[in-house]
Structure 1
Amino acid sequence: MSADLVWSLVKNNNAYLVKRPGVQFSSEPGNLTNLNTFKYSGLANNKTVGVVPAVSGKGIELITKKQKLSAHNVNKRVNKITIAKGSRRTALSVANIVARNGYRPDLRQASIAALARVSAILASQRPAKVHVKKTKGHRATRAKRA
């Protein structure tokens, strides 16, 4: 089916649609900005890009959808790449795949959304800092003992 036909069928009613006053969001896989628009739709477009945390807990998994395969090869339609290099090298790899290699030329602005999602995922995977509670000073600790 064409992407326009699929979009006309799913734009107002699908399982991923989240309606809020004045705006509609979408929680579908492959939608980088979570906006319910044709440009970012993971359901309607033949080529999509998705960024999710890796199963191992370290790094990200970049999911791209291949354009044309038969209906019998649905599991081969998705290409998953696990990237766990470090924050800067991971961001560079995602930027190269999404925008620079021409996978979806119209997503050049959305590559910023992909990079934002990558940095948020990597920040959530860092261990939490342990804050040591500081005392007021030597005299304050001595006064409490007496």
Structure 2
Amino acid sequence: MSVQRTNVSNELIWQITRNQNAYLVRRNTGGGSQFSRDPLNLVNKHSLKAVGVQTTEDGSIAVTTKKPNNPQQPAQNQVTVTYGPKTATRKIYKGVASKTAQHGYRADVREEAVARVSALRRSQQPKKDTPASKPRGARKAAAEASE
């Protein structure tokens, strides 16, 4: 028994399924906006951009891309690369950019993926303690008078 593989482009599959999929979220407010819950969608707009950047429980960053070879087998189509929590941020940027370039993604998708990594790394950093501001002017004079 031979398996026939059809060469159907991802763009054609997107054109067929874009109005009816499980990830589509439509809002009547705001001019009928369409959003996506797809984990491989970077900006949560309903579009064909399929790169996933997420954090894991231990603080590492997982980048998921799709291989363009075999769109008929989606379970075998995803490649996930995990960068540990101690990995340098610039090394992650370079890895994300090279991974998306390797799989033929457009430059704007690469930029959005690097921006998402940057936002995730920024959110993982501990918050700095800001010192209390010293009173100046009238507040300083009032504070000294009350002492």
Normalising by structure 2, we get a TM-score of 0.70
**More displaced 10-residue stretch of structure 1: 124-133 or 7-16:** 7-16
What is the aligned partner in structure 2 of residue 18 from structure 1?
25
What is the aligned partner in structure 2 of residue 91 from structure 1?
93
Q: Extract unaligned runs of 5+ from structure 1.
A: 43-48
What is the aligned partner in structure 2 of residue 60 from structure 1?
61
Q: Is the 8 A contact 2:66 2:103 kept in 1?
A: no
Q: Extract unaligned runs of 5+ from structure 2.
A: 1-5
Q: Is the 8 A contact 2:52 2:63 kept in 1?
A: yes
What code does the residue aligned with 1:68 have?
N
| In structure 2, C-alpha distance between the alignment counterparts of 1:22 and 1:70, rounded to whole Å | 31
| In structure 1, C-alpha distance between the alignment counterparts of 2:142 and 2:89, rounded to whole Å | 43
Q: Which is greater in Rg?
A: 2
What is the aligned partner in structure 1 of residue 108 from structure 2?
109
What is the aligned partner in structure 2 of residue 126 from structure 1?
125
Q: CA deviation at 1:69?
A: 8.5
1:40-61 deviation line (CA, Å, top 9, x unaligned) = 2x4xxxxxx211113312x411
| In structure 1, C-alpha distance between the alignment counterparts of 2:13 and 2:98, rounded to whole Å | 29
**RMSD across aligned positions (CA):** 2.9
What code does the residue aligned with 1:36 have?
H
Q: Is the 8 A contact 2:65 2:100 kept in 1?
A: no
Q: CA deviation at 1:34?
A: 2.6
| In structure 2, C-alpha distance between the alignment counterparts of 1:144 and 1:89, rounded to whole Å | 55
What is the aligned partner in structure 1 of residue 79 from structure 2?
79
Q: CA deviation at 1:94?
A: 1.0
Paired residue secondary structure (1:51): strand
What code does the residue aligned with 1:26 have?
S
How many corresponding residue pairs? Answer: 131
